Structure 1
Amino acid sequence: MKLQAAGKAKWFVYQKIIIVFVLFLVPLISMNIWLNYKGMSITKHAILNSSLAGASFYSKQLDKEMYFIRNLQLQLLNDRDLQKLSFRGSMLENYEEVELIDQVRDRLATLLVSSEYVVNAGVYVEAVGKTISTMSGVTATPNAEMQLITSMMTVKPKPSFYRSGDRIFLIETENNGGVCSYIELSRPKLLEALGQIAKLYEESEVLLGSKELGTVLTTASDRQESNAILDLLDNQSIPDPNVPEIKRMNGISYFVVQNEVSSLQLSLIMYVNQNEITRPLSQFTTWFYTLFIIAVIVMVLYSFSVNLMIHRPLSKLVKAFHMIETDNLNIMIESRTKDEFHYVFNGFNNMVQKLKNSIEENYEQKIALQHSQLKQLQSQINPHFLYNSFFNIYMMCKVGDSDSAAELSQKLGNYYQYITRSGSDEVPFYKEYRHALDYCEIQCIRFSNRIAYEYEEITGVPPSISVPRLIIQPLVENVFEHAFEDGMMEGMVYIATRYEEGKLRVTVEDNGHLATDEMIEQLRDKLAKDSKHMEKTGLVNVNNRLQLKYGPESGLFVSRSSYGGMRVDLIIKSGNEEVQ
């Protein structure tokens, strides 16, 4: 039969989703608007934090550089040659004085090149009445340079730095004024450092100043603007240096970042027009609303297209699969388009037809395949111990133990007759059990001095029960091959049977010491896994045969024996009351 498209009156899950989407669209828009403004706020704070980090970095670098210069100046004052020149200046011979002055000049030259902020470094030594400078050389006092330094040192209390017009100096004295060190800082280099911070934003300015000194340096063309920013900050309590402030001046809001340059006891302040930061965000808002409206229109068109091109063909395909689930394979899907669904529908029709053919073929081959697999598994048992048994008979004859040789020959003949007998794949359980006991007898004759076995007689097992051939002997064989050490005395094998409620159990245990917990766990995992690509001998062979015939609840199960060795339980469980 053929399937047609669904009727118009039906409500599909797809249509319900569209309705729910429309119902949630209005609060979703409101939430998106809120998220937009929230995102703008977060972005703005991120930008401010970035500017704060940049300003803080440059201010710390400047502060470290000033501290570095001051430390070099203090080291210069403690220089041994300079101290010697100060204390013994009047007693030195001309040659020794010139030599010390040259060494001091070398130290000053080193200080000059140590930092790009230093334009001149000099010392005044009262004992020799001279100034030594990188700019003017060695000059007798009084001179213009010393007069300038002396005039600035009258400022009380002692400031962190001295100013003369636009020139900035660091001045330190030693030996009660007997030695005076002075360093002139480069104003252009300081302005260049402030300019690096101002480059963070196009409309930002940076100043260096304090309440007492006003604006010392500024990148702004109008110094009054910088002074006004200082006044705004001075009227407030000291702000948190890690939090930017918003100050309003002349109708314009400014973000203000303040950092301390402790080496100069000044504040480094960056201020930027708020509009410069928020302008890109405002443009983003406009684009947000435009794109959101476009997205709504696209969603409506997309919903209609998906319903027409995908939802309806899928509905036909889903309905067809539902019919297959009811085992109705007489079905075909009619395709009226030439798109990908045409290929899918044709593939579905071909799949249904092949599925019908495959079910019929598999049903016919199932029993033949199962019988073949049982034959293959059974034929793989290799009684390799026969070679050793023949050798034992030979040795018994050589030593004259004819009775043991005759008994072993008889047991070996029965054993060989059982495993080579053709006929049915199944035998009565008592014969299979007897065969396993014959195998034990053979092994115990061979190892009569150190290995024995105990077994329970069959009780409660119906005589009519049949089982696959050669399923118990491999369990006992595994004990003799892997449970006992060479030379072990008093090795025992315990065999027992039990039958109740349609479940037959055969238990084989030993008292050997070779089976570790790890080996038992590995064997348990090996029996539990799919063994199509594993060896088909021994315990795996038996387990495969039982599960193939009786299902996954049957098979072999290994554990630790109460006698100290390993325990193997062979379980055959059938849905019927008796195992047939």
Structure 2
Amino acid sequence: MRTKKNKSIFSAILIAFLLVVMPVYAAGYLAYRWGITRLRNEIALSQSAQTRYYMQKFHSDIQRTIKQQSSVSSDRDVIMLSAFGEDFTEKNYPSIETMLAINRIQARLTTIMDSNDIIENVTIHMPSINKSIHSIGSISDLTPEAYLELKNIYDKREEQVLFKDNVPISIVTSPFQYASMGRLPAYIVEVEYSIPKIFNTLKLMKGDLEGGIALVQEKLNLMIAGTGDANLVWGLLEDNKVKPVAVDSEPGSYPGSVDIRKYNGVKYLVAIGRDTFTGLTLVSYTPVQEIYRPLQKYQPYFWTFTLVLAVFAVMFLYIFYREIKKPLVKLIHAFRMVDDDNLDVRVEYRQQNEFKYLFDSFNSMIDRIKNLIEQVYKQKILYQKAELKQLQSQINPHFLYNSYFVLRDMAENQDCEGLAEYTKLMGTYFQYITRNSGQSATLSQEVEHARIYAMFQERRFRNRMKLIFGELPQSMCDQVVPKVVLQPLIENAFEHGLKNTVKDGILRVSFKEDTHYCRIFVEDNGKDLSDESLEELSNNLNNEDNDIEQTGLINIHRRIRLSFGLNSGIYVSRSELGGLCVEMRIEKPGGGNNVQVADC
């Protein structure tokens, strides 16, 4: 029987080759990927550091500006004008003291503006004189509506950077102790930040790198200034991360992240910094393709290395196939032909190497096997047939002795009808065992022969026992078995199991079939079977010694095994009836290591 196909040696050599070559290729690939990753991380680190730096700068500058705005509350001129100032127009000129106070306030506001590069203008709004004093642009009229608008913007603030007409501003109002008795503050200090100056700062920060940078207010969905497309900026701010980039944050840095994000099918390296004080978000992004551009000059070297390695691998595998794999396949094919009982196969190999020796040894082995088959195997088959004939000849005369006594009794009793039936069955019985048409029969024929024998014995011992003979399943009828193997089992039950039974004896013959075996059971309720006798009988059946006494059961056991293999034979146990249970087990074709029935 052909065993399960094993793994090919070609696969093992191929795996070994890959284990040697792949680390070399992997090292080259990893070096290439390491360069890309390092460059990407350096750019990510640079963008992250720049983002943190400028967010800190915006934070510090605006915080300092707001402190300067708050310091205005201690200015004497501001206090005097907000509390005691007088309204004036082009016709009603202010006093000299008022003009001097306004000039000093303008100088103070100019100082605040000069302290921050991104300030466009600084204004203090005073409803007491209905004027707005600017660091640039002198004095303008203040309407109640404009003043109320500024107050409402200030009252709704959540962060320190506010917006008026989409322009970033910061507002500080007068302290309560200097405010009038009304609901409005005594004055409002407003700083307007320059969008063009913020843009120039961002452009300087980005430098020559591709991509863009933008300062936005996420809550208002407002892009304050930036060098890129607004839709791209808002798209990158959405949660569409591809993978994070590991960048160490400095202690005290502002919340943010560095990620690779995807928008419209393009990947970007994105650095995001957020400041809760100002409410602003700084977004810097660079196309990932631009990061890899400096390494493109190394790609030809990498692909050349890959091509050379692939050519080397193909050449190695071709030589291995021609010199090793192909001869092995040829030799394996020859072995399989031998496994299929083809002993005329021969293999040729012309090259002078180790395979030449193997092929010549194979041919020599086949020749020796053919000689052994002629000298040993055929002799063994002839011996087995002779042994089977000898075993069967020991069984044939067992029944004849008592048959004539029964005929004599029936004749004396003038039982003509019974005598006729009995002689007919005897003719059928002896015809079966003496017929030379073959030494094998179907199981249905063997069972019918055994049934006739059992009927004879039942008539002989009709006052002492009862026969229960089951029906043979239809699926078992065509099973081929050696002739006269079932009748000796029934004879053994009569002669030994029920020998000393005076009455109420039972002999039961039954049949059972499963996936692998046909089983025939012959049982009796004899009282003389001891455990020691049962064990001795079982040991004799399992004894392969040819010198052991050849009893009927042992003869049948060996015939069955010679015909059907070692998984078949006779097995004994104690019957549920109390006596001996003899099981004849016949292995079906395909049920195991099956041997075809010998013509014995």
Interval containing the TM-score (normalised by the shorter chain): 0.3 to 0.5
Using the size of structure 1 for normalisation, the TM-score is: 0.41
Using the size of structure 2 for normalisation, the TM-score is: 0.40
| Rg larger in structure | 2
